[in-house]
């Protein structure tokens, strides 16, 4: 059960425009290097828990459950600041990412681009997914 919202969470929740499913996209950015690490979704409880614990918690649409980033893999995201955009429908989490953000073992999920008519990988894994998530 998620606790009551902190004053900051209550203020932020009052300004967020959640979509019809009660979700809002959240971009995670490494606070010092500026690297965009991933994008995932938050619901009301995610916002409350993220601000209460200082560790970023998303909502997993596939598992339909709170997704405490790094709970299985250890690759947690410590929150530095949770920002909101002009029309209130997207969040930007400035984080300190422990290890890698991507389930493939890469630092960032955005490692693919199209070059010469093919989708290519721009970076290699830094960690073995089997070590992060088990076999």
Report how far apart, in Å, the C-alpha atoms of 92 and of each of 1, 7, 13, 59, 120 are: 25, 19, 14, 15, 27
Which segment (52-60, 67-75, 105-113) binds a second copy by CB under 8 A? 105-113
99 binds a second copy (CB under 8 A): no
| C-alpha torsion 114→129→68→11, nearest 10 | -30
**52 binds a second copy per the rule CB under 8 A:** no
Residue with tokens 């970023």: 56
Q: With binding defined as CB under 8 A, does residue 95 bind a second copy?
A: no
48 contacts a second copy (rule: CB under 8 A) = no
**Contact between 83 and a second copy (CB under 8 A)?**
yes
Note whether 38 binds a second copy by CB under 8 A.
yes
Nearest-angstrom CA–CA distance, 89 and 111: 25
Q: Does 87 bind a second copy (CB under 8 A)?
A: yes
Q: How far is the CB of 72 from a second copy (least distance, A)?
A: 16
Compute the radius of gyration of the chain from its Cα atoms.
16
Residues 106-125 that bind a second copy (CB under 8 A): 106, 109-119, 122
24 CB burial (10 A radius; 0-12, 13-18, 19+): buried
Binding site for a second copy (CB under 8 A): 7-12, 14-15, 25, 27, 29, 33-36, 38-39, 51, 81-87, 90, 92, 102-104, 106, 109-119, 122
């Amino acid at each position: 059960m998620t606790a009551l919202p902190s004053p900051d969470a209550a203020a932020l929740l009052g300004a967020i425009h959640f979509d019809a499913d009660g979700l809002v996209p959240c971009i995670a950015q490494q606070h010092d290097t500026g690297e965009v690490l991933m994008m995932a979704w938050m619901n009301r409880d995610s916002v409350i828990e993220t601000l209460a614990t200082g560790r970023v918690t998303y909502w997993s649409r596939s598992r339909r459950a709170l997704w405490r980033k790094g709970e299985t893999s250890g690759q947690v995201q410590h929150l530095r600041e949770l920002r909101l955009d002009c029309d209130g429908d997207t969040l930007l989490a400035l984080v300190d990412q422990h290890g890698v953000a991507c389930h493939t073992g890469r630092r960032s999920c955005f490692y693919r681009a199209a070059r010469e008519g093919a989708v290519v990988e721009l970076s290699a894994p830094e960690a073995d997914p089997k070590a992060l998530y088990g076999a």
